[in-house]
Amino acid sequence: MMKFHAITIFPGMFDSYFGESLFRRAAQKGIVSLRTYDLRDFTKERHRKVDDRPFGGGPGMVLQVAPIHAAVHSIEQGIARGAKKRRVRTILFSPRGKKFDAAMARRLSRYDDLILICGRYEGVDERVAEHIADEEVSIGDYVLSGGELPALVLMEAVSRFLPGFLGKEESLEEKNGSFPTYSRPETFYPAAARAGSRPKKKGWAVPKVLLSGDHQKIAEWRRRHGAGA
Ligand code: SAM
């Protein structure tokens, strides 16, 4: 089983996504699990503060190294208490990290436990990247408000490489790459749909080959129009 451990100041953000659809099914089947850790539970500060001003000045606050260190240490100890030796990788989300892609997702799917550190505010004390995380990961060249969405993106992309995570339908794309798909009607008349009238203008038709029943031609069309997985 792949165990995800997400360290965040907003644990509730994970509940709805992980509690639905593929994740819920995979969790029920024992393929994945997610445990969230509220970073504020790992501070000794009496107001449960986990951020402070940056040295050198500048706007915003920075997540401190001490609570993150305590959280990761506690998770690692919990993992080490288990009967079997497990492969553990600690990831820090950062817009300056290595760009996430399918190859990285496949590589990370070979670990048993992924510890995911979600930054917030102006970011995370750099000593987390230097001494605690095994790698820094970016999900794209843009800046988000926190690492929670990147963590969900990573969890889903990694999980798709775990045996049994995908149902039969979804795994087709995994095998053949991503390609355009269409469903009924064969021709859609947008103006008529709006007016509730009979179609006058040309509609939006499905490519003929997909209606041909010729599986070889369909596979060839999908190859030509698709992107590799
Ligand atoms: N100036 C900060 C920096 O350079 O890291 C930006 C911090 S950002 C507002 C807050 C947090 O969101 C980051 O610490 C990181 O965990 C997460 N984050 C934002 N954009 C991201 C991206 N593209 N990929 C991964 N994580 C991201």
CB 224 within 8 A of CB 216: no
Residue 165 located in a structural domain: no
Question: Of the residues 134, 159, 184, which one is the last residue of a structural domain?
Answer: 159
Can you tell me the mean pLDDT for 94-98?
A: 98
Tell whether 111 and 195 lie within a shared domain: no
Domain count, the chain: 2
Tell whether 99 and 49 lie within a shared domain: yes
Can you tell me the mean pLDDT for 71-98?
A: 96
Give the integer Cα–Cα distance in Å for 158 and 105: 5
**Which atom of ligand 1 approaches the CA of 124 most closely?**
14
Give the integer Cα–Cα distance in Å for 139 and 98: 8
Residue 166 located in a structural domain: no
Question: Of the residues 106, 128, 159, which one is the last residue of a structural domain?
Answer: 159
Helix (H, G, I), strand (E, B) or coil at 213: coil
Residue 184 located in a structural domain: yes
Tell whether 69 and 123 lie within a shared domain: yes
For the whole model, what pTM was predicted? 0.91
Tell whether 139 and 184 lie within a shared domain: no
Ligand 1 pocket, 120 CB below 6 A? yes
Residue 73 located in a structural domain: yes
Of 134, 155, 117, 140, which Cα lies nearest the Cα of 17? 155
Tell whether 90 and 201 lie within a shared domain: no
Burial group, residue 40, by CB count within 10 angstroms (0-12, 13-18, 19+): middle
Which stretch of 132-141, 171-180, 218-227 has the lowest confidence by average pLDDT?
A: 171-180
Tell whether 35 and 91 lie within a shared domain: yes
Tell whether 197 and 120 lie within a shared domain: no
Tell me which H or E stretch contains 34: strand 32-38
Give the integer Cα–Cα distance in Å for 41 and 46: 11
Residue 121 located in a structural domain: yes
Ligand 1 pocket, 59 CB below 6 A? no
Of 150, 170, 143, 63, which Cα lies nearest the Cα of 108? 150
Tell whether 155 and 119 lie within a shared domain: yes
Which range of residues forms the domain containing residue 212?
A: 172-225
Q: How far is the CA of 182 from the centre of ligand 1 (A)?
A: 36
Tell whether 179 and 144 lie within a shared domain: no
Tell whether 13 and 60 lie within a shared domain: yes
Structure tokens at 164: 């049994």
For residue 57, pLDDT beyond 90: yes
Ligand 1 pocket, 135 CB below 6 A? no
CB 151 within 8 A of CB 18: no
Helix (H, G, I), strand (E, B) or coil at 187: strand
Tell whether 137 and 220 lie within a shared domain: no
**Which atom of ligand 1 approaches the CA of 118 most closely?**
16
Residue 167 located in a structural domain: no
Can you tell me the mean pLDDT for 199-214?
A: 90
CB under 8 Å to 141, separation ≥6 — which residues? 95, 99
Compute CA distances 166 → 7, 121, 125, 151, 173, whole Å. Answer: 26, 35, 37, 19, 10
For residue 109, pLDDT beyond 50: yes
Question: Of the residues 159, 193, 211, which one is the last residue of a structural domain?
Answer: 159
Helix (H, G, I), strand (E, B) or coil at 54: coil
Residue pointed to by tokens 């990788």: 89
Strand ranges in the chain using DSSP code E only, listed in sequence order:
2-8, 32-38, 51-52, 62-63, 88-99, 113-117, 135-138, 187-188, 204-205
Q: What is the CATH number of the domain that holds 218?
A: 1.10.1270
Diameter of the chain by CA atoms?
71
CA 122 to chain centre: 22
Q: For residue 171, what pLDDT is reported?
A: 62
For residue 172, pLDDT beyond 60: no
Q: How far is the CA of 123 from the centre of ligand 1 (A)?
A: 6
Q: For residue 192, what pLDDT is reported?
A: 77
Can you tell me the mean pLDDT for 198-203?
A: 75
Tell whether 204 and 126 lie within a shared domain: no
- The DSSP symbol for 197 reads S
Q: What is the CATH number of the domain that holds 66?
A: 3.40.1280.10
Tell the residue nearest (CA) to atom 23 of ligand 1: 95
Residue 137 located in a structural domain: yes
